[in-house]
Amino acid sequence: MDKILRIDMGAAGGPKMKMDDLGQYAGLGGRALTSAMIAAEVEPTANPLGAENKLVIAPGLLSGTVAAMSGRISVGCKSPLTGGIKEANSGGQAAQVLARLGYAAIVLEGLAPEGKLYKILINKDGVKIEPADEYKMLPNYDLIDKIKGAYGDKVTCMSIGPAGEMKLSASSIAITDMEFRPTRHAGRGGVGAVMGAKGVKVIIMDDAGVKNREPKDPEKFREANKKWVEGLRSHAVTGQALPAYGTNVLVNIINESGGFPTNNFKSGRFEGASAISGETFADIETKRGGNPTHGCHRGCVIQCSGTYVDKNGKFVSKQPEYETTWAHGANCGIDDPDTIAMLDYLDDNYGLDTIDMGAAIGVAMEAGIIPFGDKEGAINLIKEVGKGTFLGKIIGSGAAIAAKVFGVEHAPVVKGQAMPAYDPRAIQGIGVTYATSTMGADHTAGYCIATNILKCGGFVDPLSPEGQIELSRNLQIATAAIDSTGMCLFIAFAILDQPETFQALIDMLNAFYGLNLDADGVAELGKKVLTSEREFNKKAGFTSAHDRLPRYFYSDKLTPHNKVFEVTDKELDSVFNW
Amino acid sequence: MLKKIIIQGIPEAGDIIHYELQGGFYVESVSGITLLSFLIQSCNIPENYIGDKIKTIFHNGNPVDDLKTVKLFENSVVAISGAMPGLVGAMMRIGSPYAPMRESITDKGNAEGVTGDKILVKLKLFNIILNDHGKRFIEHGAVFDRETIHRIIRKCQSLTENKVSIIIDDTVFESTGIEQLTDDKYIISYSG
């Protein structure tokens, strides 16, 4: 992982590539690398779909090694959805393959001539860029079928569907999984639209003939990885709940907490929650011959994914994640697992962010385009996106745009990005992160890394009223650091409760790179990432006014707790004081 | 006295009843009992299991940190779960270091004591708790309200499409006519 592939898609005479060494970016990976490059190389006021923007694809620091759970890949750019800096990350096979091939990053620059579409092929012998007009407007599953015919099913792909080609601001980049299906997505912020603007339909990566990356101290690395895996397997979340039920295990408890947004954030409880819970999905999958326990990339020991099949045992989609089940389920008043799985498939096929799609359909339902609970109507709306009709383009541009076009005040968005599956009126602390994240409303911006283990920001008194501000700050710092390792976010649960597991992660980084990193060093990395992202956003025109929830969250009470969002502007403005 | 419905040898019905435990069933207890005592005495869940496996509890939709101070009364709803993923899952855990982030809805308990009055507590079982204890509750007989009983029967094709014999308080009924049940609550018991 000692080189950066840069491709100027707008060069005279066709795309031109060059290979750079790491230079100023040495020692960075994942989000730390994508955000550093965007902050250093992209004009903050640039049009996200213009030639000045760049799309940076970077595996994590430990990707391509035998370290368990190191298959996360980061995609960075200036976001067409938020107008700010963006890092969207995903599982699937790409991080491992790209890292094994030796690339710290692929950077797509410039702008392809209108109507031109390319494929990029990367293997141990080098890189080829070829026209891909035959793939125009192909949905992801159809595209992958064609690639399978031409290149076999041992390669790995990152691709865009019709939504990305149409440059819709809720479009995603699909990444193939272990079964060579395009089920994993860098979903948030419209990164697919930027890839579409660069004229790249698919990046095909083949790691045949290359080996895993070798650590500087193999013995220490092996020992740390062993402790790491033991820690993940012994923890109640990573060893039991996630493998058995997937992320959707959250439906019941978030619904019980009264923070499960229902019917476009009108209430916090959904009557049909148990019909769409992780427990119910796992039961359906088992009985129909699907599989509720499955990894999204090789080297995964948590196995939180699954395979959803229809009544005849035929593949429908991957097991929908919690966010997807909520977005297309409770948020749209839909309590049918088959419908939710179909919507998940359609989102993946057209290349769309499931959260923003569910939120946009919820807004359309509130506007009366279709009623809440209309299963067929929801499916048809996503199909409209795939067809590229005017209505479909509105939905495919996300909840914020849909609300403007349909005249709906209640748009559950921050910085233009739809809120995920937790209502901040019931769970105030998550609202702090939604409001202040550099990424727009984002549930992963402040994940559960043990504050007092990382010691970032000092010890937090859990009884102090400022606790949730400090916690949000520390969580965002820690998340930014973890996002840079290429580790799956779900490792966070084991780190939270088991200091020795967190130490094993640091030991792996040290053994691999020959470093002496400690917890303070990890925290400093996180702060550095957030600082550069905040600076970029400031230069792009963001002010403290953008670090707020929509006004109706401060005035409309949410049942059953009848709460509004109560964190003050002054408190929100103090999140990044360090 | 609640009437008891006994269903035997219809695995589909057993599965449907099992998953209805997520939506809630009723357990008899006494007013003012602590949450911890309720789980041990009224639900027969061993104390070491509570400490080891039950990591998330809600009382009336409010997350709980201290099982000894939260007390139950008529119409109390209790939901029990294992440790949950995600930032919010971590926040909701008993004694979570992230408890301040959901402080406004935390159940901090109250000082009222046991009155001794009999109450029915609605209990919801989620994820690993459902897996570990659901079957036991169903075999002993779980109390459901009428709407849930009707829903169970409507969902179970074996019961709606065939005339299956069901015992209700020693009287044998045909399953196709069971929707005529009119009491507010029934005990339902299943054995394979």
Q: Which residues are A85's β-sheet partners?
A: A78
Residue A172 CA to residue A195 CA, distance in Å, equals 9
Residue A313 CA to residue A309 CA, distance in Å, equals 5
Best of B18, B96, B126, B132 to substitute, by most chain A Cβ atoms within 10 angstroms, is: B126
Cα–Cα separations (whole angstroms), residue A521 to A33, A527, A578:
16, 10, 15
Cβ of A447 within 8 Å of Cβ of B86? The answer is: yes
At residue A64, what is the residue type?
G
Q: Which portions of chain A are predicted below pLDDT 70?
A: 445-467, 496
Q: Which residues are A371's β-sheet partners?
A: none
Question: Which residue on chain A is closest to B126 by alpha carbon?
Answer: A252
Distance to chain B for A517, nearest Cα, Å: 25
Question: How does DSSP classify residue A500?
Answer: H
* Burial environment of residue A443 by CB neighbours within 10 A (0 to 12, 13 to 18, 19 or more): buried
Encode burial over A424-442: b for 16+ CB neighbours within 10 A, e otherwise: bbbbbbbbbbbbbbbbbbb
Q: Report whether B146 contacts B183 (CB < 8 A).
A: yes
**Closest in B79, B89, B102 to A429, CB measured:** B102
Instruction: Give the pLDDT of residue A451.
Output: 41
Q: Could you tell me where the beta strands, DSSP code E, fall in A299-358?
A: 305-309, 315-318
Residue with the larger pLDDT of the pair A468 and B141: B141
Best of A235, A238, A248, A256 to substitute, by most chain B Cβ atoms within 10 angstroms, is: A256
Question: Which residue on chain A is closest to B24 by alpha carbon?
Answer: A274
- Output phi, psi for B6, to 5 deg: -115, 125
Of chain A, the end-to-end C-alpha distance in Å amounts to: 33
Question: How does DSSP classify residue A340?
Answer: H
Best of B58, B75, B127 to substitute, by most chain A Cβ atoms within 10 angstroms, is: B127
User: CB neighbours of B102 closer than 8 A, spacing ≥ 6?
Assistant: A257, A426, A427, A428, A429, B63, B88, B91, B92
Q: Report whether A192 contacts A171 (CB < 8 A).
A: yes
Cβ of B101 within 8 Å of Cβ of A422? The answer is: no
Encode burial over A489-503: b for 16+ CB neighbours within 10 A, e otherwise: bbbbbbbbbbeebbb
The band of B9, judged by pLDDT with boundaries at 50, 70 and 90, is confident
Structure tokens at A162: 């019709």
Q: Report whether A48 contacts A149 (CB < 8 A).
A: no
pLDDT of B114 > 80? The answer is: no
Cβ of A254 within 8 Å of Cβ of B88? The answer is: yes
| 3-class secondary-structure state, position A481 | helix
Question: Which residue on chain B is closest to A279 by alpha carbon?
Answer: B127
Distance to chain A for B65, nearest Cα, Å: 12
At residue B108, what is the residue type?
K
Cβ of B79 within 8 Å of Cβ of A430? The answer is: no
Cβ of B85 within 8 Å of Cβ of A452? The answer is: no
Q: Which residues are A90's β-sheet partners?
A: A73
Instruction: Give the pLDDT of residue B111.
Output: 73
User: CB neighbours of A60 closer than 8 A, spacing ≥ 6?
Assistant: A29, A30, A70, A72, A73, A74, A95, A99, A483, A484, A485, A486, A487
User: CB neighbours of A483 closer than 8 A, spacing ≥ 6?
Assistant: A30, A31, A32, A60, A72, A74, A87, A89, A489, A529
* Burial environment of residue B155 by CB neighbours within 10 A (0 to 12, 13 to 18, 19 or more): middle
Residues of B in Cβ contact (< 8 Å) with A240:
82, 128
Interface residue ranges in chain B relative to chain A, Cβ cutoff 8 Å: 15, 19-20, 22-23, 53, 55-56, 58, 61-63, 79, 81-92, 97-105, 124, 126-128, 130-131
Least confident of A158-172, A182-196, B26-40, B163-177: B163-177
Cβ of A460 within 8 Å of Cβ of B56? The answer is: no
Residue A7 CA to residue A54 CA, distance in Å, equals 10
**Closest in B19, B87, B100 to A446, CB measured:** B87
Structure tokens at A411: 């748009």
Of chain B, the end-to-end C-alpha distance in Å amounts to: 25
Instruction: Give the pLDDT of residue A462.
Output: 38
Cα–Cα separations (whole angstroms), residue A417 to A357, A393, A459:
11, 16, 32
**Closest in B20, B55, B88 to A236, CB measured:** B55
Q: Which residues are A159's β-sheet partners?
A: A174, A202
Distance to chain A for B108, nearest Cα, Å: 13
**Closest in B88, B97, B104 to A462, CB measured:** B97
> Pick from B147, B99, B98: which is nearest to B122 by CA?
B147
Best of A242, A252, A276 to substitute, by most chain B Cβ atoms within 10 angstroms, is: A252
Residue B47 CA to residue B37 CA, distance in Å, equals 9
| 3-class secondary-structure state, position A270 | coil
Cα–Cα separations (whole angstroms), residue A420 to A262, A574, B184:
12, 23, 38
Cβ of A237 within 8 Å of Cβ of B128? The answer is: no
Cβ of A468 within 8 Å of Cβ of B103? The answer is: yes
Cβ of A259 within 8 Å of Cβ of B124? The answer is: no
Q: Could you tell me where the beta strands, DSSP code E, fall in A46-84?
A: 55-59, 73-78
Residue B143 CA to residue B150 CA, distance in Å, equals 13
Cβ of A427 within 8 Å of Cβ of B90? The answer is: no
Cβ of A427 within 8 Å of Cβ of B101? The answer is: yes
Cβ of B131 within 8 Å of Cβ of A322? The answer is: no
Cβ of A241 within 8 Å of Cβ of B126? The answer is: no
In what helix (H) or strand (E) does residue A479 lie, and over which residues does it extend? helix A467-482
Question: Which residue on chain B is closest to A257 by alpha carbon?
Answer: B61
Question: Which residue on chain B is closest to A422 by alpha carbon?
Answer: B88
Residue A2 CA to residue A327 CA, distance in Å, equals 40
Question: Which residue on chain A is closest to B20 by alpha carbon?
Answer: A274
Residue A278 CA to residue B155 CA, distance in Å, equals 19
Distance to chain B for A558, nearest Cα, Å: 12
Question: Which residue on chain B is closest to A421 by alpha carbon?
Answer: B88
Question: Which residue on chain A is closest to B129 by alpha carbon?
Answer: A241
Structure tokens at A538: 């400031």
pLDDT tens digits, residue range A151-210? 999 999 999 999 999 999 999 999 999 999 999 999 999 999 999 999 999 999 999 999
> Pick from A429, A447, A424: which is nearest to A575 by CA?
A429
**Closest in B55, B91, B127 to A245, CB measured:** B127
Best of B66, B98, B123 to substitute, by most chain A Cβ atoms within 10 angstroms, is: B98
- Output phi, psi for B141, to 5 deg: 105, 115
ipTM for the predicted complex: 0.88
Residues of A in Cβ contact (< 8 Å) with B56:
253
DSSP assignment of A502-544 equals HHHHHHHHHHHHT----HHHHHHHHHHHHHHHHHHHHHTT--G
pTM of the model: 0.93
* Burial environment of residue A574 by CB neighbours within 10 A (0 to 12, 13 to 18, 19 or more): middle
Q: β-strand A200-205 against A118-123: which pairing, if any? A: parallel
pLDDT tens digits, residue range A359-411? 999 999 999 999 999 999 999 999 999 999 999 999 999 999 999 999 999 99
Cβ of B86 within 8 Å of Cβ of A446? The answer is: no
Size of interface A-B (CB pairs under 8 A): 158
Question: Which residue on chain A is closest to B56 by alpha carbon?
Answer: A253
Q: Which residues are B160's β-sheet partners?
A: none
Residue A482 CA to residue A505 CA, distance in Å, equals 10
Q: Report whether A49 contacts A197 (CB < 8 A).
A: yes
A560 upstream amide cis, omega within 30 of 0: yes
Residues of B in Cβ contact (< 8 Å) with A280:
19, 22
> Pick from A129, A116, A189, A120: which is nearest to A159 by CA?
A120
In what helix (H) or strand (E) does residue A36 lie, and over which residues does it extend? helix A30-41
Instruction: Identify the top-confidence range among A195-204, A222-231, B107-116, B164-173.
Output: A195-204
Distance of CA A485 to the CA centre of its chain: 15
